[in-house]
Amino acid sequence: MNEQLKTDAWKIIETQFCKTRVESSESLFSLGNGVMGQRANFEEKYTGESLPGNYIGGIYYPDKTRVGWWKNGYPEYFAKVVNSAFWIGVDLKIEGEEIDLAKNEIISYHRELDMQHSLLSRQVKIKLKCGKEIEINAVRFISLTNIELGVIKYTIKSLQGDIEVEISPYINADVRNADANYDKNFWEYVNSSRDSIQMRTKKSGFDVAWSQACFIDGVEWRDESEKETIRETSQFSLKQQEEKSLYKYVGICSSLNHPAETLIHQAMKVAKEAAQLGFHELLKQHSKAWEQKWYSCDIEIEGDDQSQQGIRYCIFMLLQTYTGIDTRLNIGPKGFTGEKYGGVTYWDTEAYCLQFYLSTSGQQVAKELLVYRYNQLDKAIENAENLGFKEGAALYPMVTINGEECHNEWEITFEEIHRNGAIAYAIYNYIRYTGDKAYLSPYGLDVLIGIARFWAQRVSFSQERHKYVILGVTGPNEYENNVNNNWYTNYIASWCLKYAAESVEFVKNSQPNEFQKLIIKRNFNPTQELEKWKAIYENIYLPYNEKLAIFMQQDAYMDKEQILVADLAVSERPINQKWSWDRILRSCFIKQADVLQGIYFFQEDFDTETIARNFHFYEPRTVHESSLSPSIHTILATKIGDMDKAYEMYLRSSRLDLDDYNREIDEGLHITSMAGSWLALTEGFGGMRIKNDIIGFTPTLPKAWSHILFKINYRDRIIKIKATHKEVVVSIEGEAVDISIYGKTYHVTDHITHLL
Amino acid sequence: MNEQLKTDAWKIIETQFCKTRVESSESLFSLGNGVMGQRANFEEKYTGESLPGNYIGGIYYPDKTRVGWWKNGYPEYFAKVVNSAFWIGVDLKIEGEEIDLAKNEIISYHRELDMQHSLLSRQVKIKLKCGKEIEINAVRFISLTNIELGVIKYTIKSLQGDIEVEISPYINADVRNADANYDKNFWEYVNSSRDSIQMRTKKSGFDVAWSQACFIDGVEWRDESEKETIRETSQFSLKQQEEKSLYKYVGICSSLNHPAETLIHQAMKVAKEAAQLGFHELLKQHSKAWEQKWYSCDIEIEGDDQSQQGIRYCIFMLLQTYTGIDTRLNIGPKGFTGEKYGGVTYWDTEAYCLQFYLSTSGQQVAKELLVYRYNQLDKAIENAENLGFKEGAALYPMVTINGEECHNEWEITFEEIHRNGAIAYAIYNYIRYTGDKAYLSPYGLDVLIGIARFWAQRVSFSQERHKYVILGVTGPNEYENNVNNNWYTNYIASWCLKYAAESVEFVKNSQPNEFQKLIIKRNFNPTQELEKWKAIYENIYLPYNEKLAIFMQQDAYMDKEQILVADLAVSERPINQKWSWDRILRSCFIKQADVLQGIYFFQEDFDTETIARNFHFYEPRTVHESSLSPSIHTILATKIGDMDKAYEMYLRSSRLDLDDYNREIDEGLHITSMAGSWLALTEGFGGMRIKNDIIGFTPTLPKAWSHILFKINYRDRIIKIKATHKEVVVSIEGEAVDISIYGKTYHVTDHITHLL
């Protein structure tokens, strides 16, 4: 638990200023509106340890690859989200003393992030060297209703004595990425005026303009702009107990949405129109939009304030990160809260995030995530070609922004190919949840064929086993590299081939014209290719241990020394910090769900005893050193009735960042794993699952909780599930629908109660 | 074949100037004296593509590690041989025109490297823009008798018309490594005078001073030195057909051998004393020393001029690279001919080079190579500790200069642990060849115990197989990473444990006092540890294929698609340039001898049929994309009587650099693989092998050769073997000795003839 934070159902609150935790708090209190976001840096100068961070979705720089030993097939660059202009800047001098929390004497400090309205506010009282005291109240938000707008209200109050204030709101565009491979500047200057500046990313050539409109009642500004910093300054006096507020409206417009030559004009327009509406009206609109978002997806946990805050934080950050209004955007592992990992799209999107957006933001938003991959299919085919595949086989990148591979570790880039399976599974999952089979044509099937072709070429036939095998892969458990026959990979590969074949049949019959077009476009030979796919999925090798009656994570897993995590000294953990890589690799320890990830995806294929046997074998060997691990284990532990384990795993997942479990949130938050926490709650404790086109729930609560209430967006209606240890109440807003509770199907028109 | 080179028994000759091959020739014509060396750069300015290279053994810089993705256990730096001052410099202006072969009109060009005397000479005729013609004759050597001395005679002749000459001999110490990870300068300036300069390597703090003494008959110099360049200039006139020679004597002294504060003085002394002796006397001494070297190790091949030149080139370059006069030095993969790969010591030293130096340079020189590792034992123990090993286990680095690991690819650094086996094998091999069992104490046994302890901890017991297994390794075939039970590794590990145990018994009995000291020094428990070692070597798992009756390279090798190299399209090769890394890994293709490397080391353990079966299985799957591969195959092919294959492999090995087989010698030569070529000739075609303490030969010649004659240094005598297709004549210089020829033992006092 993070001692610095107060527990609150709707807010993140810190009441002490701690220099060593400034960067962590910058991550924790981040703001975003789905298209841009920022770390919670202070407006005024801060000379302590800080990671300034302002990110605009879709604006990236192709940073030259840095690698020790080049391997054929590595990409030439790693596309990174660019750290952009620091637009919140407000320099402040009072009685000649510079305001800088690293140096001032702080009397009191209070910061809170209102998750209900995505509003950041901070109150600091400072005693100046001259003995006078002041208070600063800074409030800001990134508008959800005008997505190119940021707004700050910055109030200075004299608490004791009359004071002279010098204030300089500014935008500094001379910003570098902390994670640049070769310390290069990613930006070049284009143009500026008194209140606006336009910059362009090198190589990728994205233009962005920032414009500020600043107001303090009765105050005149003088221009102090320099080349890459626009700045206005003024002075005023405050009598004791008097206060004045700076209103700063910042327009941020990019060439993703406007012609480059109009950007400064556009940004000025955004800032000025905002100023006309005024702070309070803008905040009202913004707050209302956020309340609407929450209306369809809030989760209440009664009886556990920590968990309540934790799950709301996960939902909030995910909603801040992605809103589905632009198919060029996706969900970066750190969202808008840091630079680490660059790229924006990992298999996390399909395996973890898709379901969250389906159930909170609806079909259209989730569909954008699929279309993102569809739009990158040709790049995925190129990527596979680079690795020696042919005839339209598609391998989606491990890490990407624009569809091109960015990652450069051979054991991941070239071998962690199971990601292709998750992309196919996402199509299946989307259609299962929405019923939108029409998605298959023209979108889904095209992708499925590319992926199936990849697997069909990637398997090889073992004369020894008389089976198709998949050699040299890295499974979801990245603590094994270059293994043969990873069960998860083989299973999902085989499933992909089968699902692609079924989808071919469906589109052939339902949309014969579209199908003919696809045949021509992709030079597809249904008869021949489906025959090959069938031969493989009917004869794939799936490692199995007869004695233990469990699936084997990979060939030769049982050759390893079998030790349990419980037998590991605490001083040895986390092993990824304490052990050399080879030691990790040859140990039996598992980073994150691997066989269990497959069982989670394909639950219907396995009976509960099988799930339990595999869970009881693998979980005790799992160190959960990926933030994506505990959530899947919560879901399966709930399923097999091990509620203690489920709750233990859940706590580890849902407050990972709030409690800074791994002491690393200074680098940014684990955005995609937050979707895992949401899954753990809804699919785990809520037991949400779609079977035979009917949505069902089997709510099971941890002992500590008295009730949970969660809302989901399902096929254009809102389903509200309220579960206690004794009953489940289901109510809906929207058209009546069949809902299964513990296997009993109800036709719910308004609400029903199911007793346990 | 390299069209640019003439074939000559004792010389490397190029007769044409080719701008695109300058860097390759710089490598090919390199000079060295075992403690320093240089690429064959031109003395005068050259503005074309060139890689200036001057290297001093033992002077390195710890270059900060460059890596894409950090893994625990990686070293912080990569120690690199430092490219040092360009001391051959002679700038030249004639009739106002700068001499620069990239720009001048060249009438004729001739360069030769006299291998018999390690002497580089070059004759160029140039037509100046003014129409006049000149000739330059440049001769230089790096003295073998005074190892801190370089000597140049640089003659200018007017061929047509009278000319004005401006000449500036210089030493430029502002030099950078082309392979620096972060473009940093590795040197800092210390001090300089008119004719000397002293520099210091950053971080590692080695000082080196260079001093030049320059003479032209009747010519005065003016000082034109600048901070990091010392330079003298003068002018003179030449009448038609007149010539003048510059004699430049350069002293190069380092803090490895002198106190840093005396270095400039020392270097001046070397240069001045050399000048007093004069060019011709110095050359005489140098030439005589080289003739002596050759006397005991020359090889003659009659009937194949290409092969004759090839084998002499290999011997020559190896003798230039290492002379065994300093235990801090070793044999870098590129010797003094380039920067690539940094470091200086790989397992190549023990697996390939040791035998060469044993047989050409004698016991003392070879012993220095073993002592080098002995001196680094504590670092090897530290290295193992970094990777989680305990209790004095030693893992020698993959790449090193000072005993610390430099390499940073997890699959190599952490997993290519078979190198530890080669280091133990070298001790065995040295003792087998020299009979010097006393080496075991205090040196050899200490190392063997550290290595045995490593293996004893590195194995694990498989409950499945009831055998000890070794998981997660990379064998000699680096086209497989992170495999289980690499046969070669398991075999040599088991052998190490057994040999260490035998050596313990030997020292315990022969030198009980020394043994007690070792017990205390290493906290060694003979009873307990030997028991553990025995349990392992008696019960190690060695993968074997019953059906094919061959050793299996590793677990699951037969799961791979079995294709032969012959079936690979030429356009696909070399696969390390054409295929992505994962494709290479999951293919059955082998980079270099792996199972066969083990069979080569332990030939006596296997009958010829077994060797043949394994050879016939593995060789057709081997792409020989390591320069170390063909030589081992030559030896085994000869052994099983496949002389066509043996000869094919030999040709690939012995002229690898002369013919620039892989089009990469611009980066430097493959020095250590040259030892492989020598092995191929002596142990392959010569059949040299020690059994039961008797040296034996089974000479078998390729059809194309009428005879071979090779000399080896064996236990303080020279054995000369002359073999034709009909007979073998063995003669010795030194005490009589038993020698086996084709299994028949002769007591040779002077010479014997064995008819075939």
pLDDT digits (tens, 9 = 90+) for B121-134: 999 999 999 999 99
Kindly identify which residue of chain B lies nearest to residue A413, measuring between CA atoms: B582
Whether residues A277 and A382 fall in one domain: no
A231 three-state secondary structure: strand
Q: In this structure, is residue A684 part of a structural domain? A: no
CB contact under 8 A, A69 and B460: no
**Is there a single domain that holds both residue B269 and residue B396?**
no
pLDDT computed for residue A464 by the predictor? 87
Residue B1 has pLDDT above 60, yes or no: no
Side-chain-facing half-sphere of B449: CA atoms under 13 Å: 28
Residue finishing a domain among B295, B320, B351: B295
- With an 8 Å Cβ cutoff, is A292 touching chain B? no
Which residue, among A582, A588, A589, would best test binding to B if mutated, counting the most B CBs under 10 Å from its CB?
A582
Contact B581 A409 (CB under 8 A): no
- Give the C-alpha separation, B350 to B347, whole Å: 6
State the average pLDDT over residues B728-738: 97
B160 and B31, same structural domain? yes
Same domain, B140 and B236: yes
Q: Max Cα separation, chain B?
A: 89
Whether A568 and chain B come into contact, CB under 8 Å, resolves to: no
pLDDT at A66: 87
Instruction: Report pLDDT for B661.
Output: 78
Q: Pairing state of beta strands A717-724 and A727-733?
A: antiparallel
A291: phi then psi, degrees, rounded to nearest 5: -65, -35
Helix, strand, coil % over all residues of chain A, rounded to 5: 35, 25, 40
- Asked if A276 and A408 sit in the same domain, the reply is no
Residue of chain B whose alpha carbon sits nearest to that of A547:
B464
- Is B465 within a domain? yes
What's the ipTM?
0.90
Compute the distance between CA of residue A384 and CA of residue B557 in angstroms, rounded to an integer: 25
Is there a contact between A582 and B484 if contact means CB atoms under 8 Å apart? Answer: no
Cα angle value B42/B45/B50 (rounded, 5°): 60
**Contacts across the A-B interface (CB distance below 8 Å):** 129
Domain final residue pick, B506, B524, B542: B542
| Residue of B324, B319, B214, B315 whose CA lies nearest to B271 | B214
Q: Is A571 within 8 Å of chain B by CB?
A: no
- Amino acid B31: pLDDT: 98
Pick the last residue of a domain from B295, B316, B339. Answer: B295
Closest CA to B307 of B684, B713, B733, B621: B684
Other Cβ atoms less than 10 A from the Cβ of A422: the count is 23
A707-714/A97-98 β-pairing: unpaired
Q: Which domain does B424 fall in, by range?
A: 376-542
3-state DSSP assignment of residue B151: strand
| Rounded Cα distance, B49 and B58, in Å | 28
The pLDDT value given to residue B664: 86
Across the interface, do B581 and A68 touch by the CB < 8 Å criterion? no
Strand B737-741 vs strand B694-697: parallel, antiparallel, or unpaired?
parallel
Based on the fold, state whether residues A107 and A199 are members of the same structural domain. yes
| Separation of alpha carbons A630 and A516, rounded Å | 45
Tens digit of each residue's pLDDT (9 = 90 or more) over B658-703? 998 778 899 999 999 999 999 999 999 999 999 999 999 999 999 9
How many angstroms away from the CA of A248 is the closest CA of chain B?
Answer: 41
Buried b vs exposed e over A325-345: b needs ≥16 C-beta within 10 Å?
ebeebbbbbbbbbbbebbbbb
Give the CATH number for residue A380.
1.50.10.10
Same domain, B257 and B132: yes
Q: Is residue B649 part of a domain?
A: no
Is residue B406 within 8 Å of B400, Cβ to Cβ?
Answer: yes
CB contact, 8 Å: A73 with chain B? yes
Computed over every residue of chain A, the mean pLDDT equals 96
| Interchain contact, A559 vs B471, CB within 8 Å | yes
Say whether residue B718 is in contact with chain A using an 8 A CB cutoff: no
Helix-helix angle B444-458:B363-375, to 10 degrees: 50
Together in a domain, B131 and B270: yes
Domain membership of residue B559 (yes or no) is: no
Looking at residue B123, what is its pLDDT? 98
| C-alpha to C-alpha distance for A683 and A39, rounded to whole angstroms | 31
Flag whether residue A576 sits within 8 Å of chain B, measured between CB atoms: yes
Tens-place pLDDT, residues B192-232: 999 999 999 999 999 999 999 999 999 999 999 998 999 99
- The band of A201, judged by pLDDT with boundaries at 50, 70 and 90, is very high
Which chain A residue has its CA at the smallest distance from B406's CA? A68
pLDDT digits (tens, 9 = 90+) for B504-516: 999 999 999 999 9
B68/A409 CB distance under 8 A: yes
Distance, in angstroms, between B666 CA and closest chain A CA?
A: 19
> How many CB atoms sit inside 10 A of residue A47's CB?
10
B242 and B110, same structural domain? Answer: yes
Residue A293, amino acid? K
- Alpha helix stretches (DSSP H) within B655-725: 671-679
User: Is residue B697 situated within a structural domain?
Assistant: yes
SS3 state of residue B585: helix
Mean per-residue pLDDT of chain B: 96
Bridge partners of residue B63, in order along the sequence: B78
Give CA–CA dist B748/B731, Å, rounded: 7
Q: What is the pLDDT of residue B652?
A: 87
Residues B420 and B496: their CA atoms lie apart, in Å, by 9
Residues A117 and A14 in one domain: yes
Is the Cβ pair B72, A471 closer than 8 Å? Answer: no
Token digits for B438?
């006393």
**pLDDT single digits (tens) A218-260:** 999 999 999 899 999 999 999 999 999 999 999 999 999 999 9
Residues B414 and B522 in one domain: yes
- Could B582 and A387 be called an inter-chain contact, meaning their C-beta atoms sit closer than 8 Å? yes
Q: Where does A461-574 have alpha helices with state H?
A: 487-510, 512-521, 526-537
The secondary structure element, H or E, covering residue A230 is: strand A229-238
- What is the average pLDDT across B241-251? 98
pLDDT, position A2: 59
Decide if B619 is inside a domain: no
Does residue A532 lie within any of the structural domains? yes
Instruction: Note the pLDDT of residue B3.
Output: 66
| CA–CA dist A395, A376 (Å, integer) | 10
In this complex, the residue of A414, A483, A580 whose CB is nearest that of residue B414 is A580
Residue A3: band (very low, low, confident or very high) from pLDDT cuts 50, 70, 90 = low
Query: Which of A460, A581, A588 would you mutate first to test chain B, the one with the most B CBs within 10 A?
Result: A581
What is the arithmetic mean of pLDDT over B309-325?
96
**What is the pLDDT at residue B183?**
84
B478 is catalytic: yes
Long-range contacts, stretch A557-560, CB < 8 angstroms, 24+ apart:
A557/A588, A558/B462, A558/B463, A558/B464, A559/B460, A559/B462, A559/B464, A559/B465, A559/B469, A559/B471, A559/B484, A559/B555, A560/A586, A560/A587, A560/A588, A560/B460, A560/B471
Residue B409: list chain A partners with CB under 8 A.
68-69
**Domain co-membership, B252 together with B388:** no
Distance CA B143, CA B282 (A): 8
pTM for the complete prediction?
A: 0.93
- B161 touching chain A per CB within 8 A: no
Q: Which of B416, B478, B529, B667 is catalytic?
A: B478
Quote the pLDDT of residue A654.
86
Please answer yes or no on whether B472 and A578 come within 8 Å at the CB atom. Answer: no
End-to-end CA separation in angstroms for chain A: 34
With bands split at pLDDT 50, 70 and 90, how would you rate the model's confidence at B654? confident
Q: State how many domains chain B has.
A: 3
Segment A640-649 mean pLDDT: 96
| Residue of B63, B419, B580, B591 to mutate, interface with A, max A Cβ within 10 Å | B580
Instruction: Inspect the interface and report whether the beta carbons of B71 and A414 lie closer than 8 Å.
Output: no
Question: Are residues A507 and A514 in contact, defined by beta-carbon separation less than 8 angstroms?
Answer: yes
Chain A residue with minimum CA distance to B180: A68
- B64 to chain A, any CB pair closer than 8 A? The answer is no
Question: What pLDDT shows up at residue A647?
Answer: 95
Chain B interface disruption, residue of A405, A559, A572, A578, most B CBs within 10 A: A559
Distances (CA, A) of A244 to A89, A522, A733, B163, B452: 17, 65, 46, 86, 77
CB A675 within 8 A of CB A320: no
Q: Tell me, yes or no, whether B300 lies in a domain.
A: no
Quick one: closest CA in B to A465, which residue? B559
Residue A515 has pLDDT above 60, yes or no: yes
B414 at interface of A, judged by CB pairs closer than 8 A: yes
**Which tokens hold the place of A753?**
């109660």
3-state secondary structure of A550: strand
| Residue A5 pLDDT | 87
Instruction: Specify the CATH number for the domain of residue B48.
Output: 2.70.98.40
Which of A91, A67, A62, A94 lies closest to A79 in space, CA to CA? Answer: A62
Q: Which amino acid is at A437?
A: K
Report helix, strand or coil for B685.
helix
CA A260 from chain centre, in angstroms, equals: 29
Q: Does A278 contact B at CB distance below 8 Å?
A: no
Of B460, B461, B580, the CB nearest to A388: B580
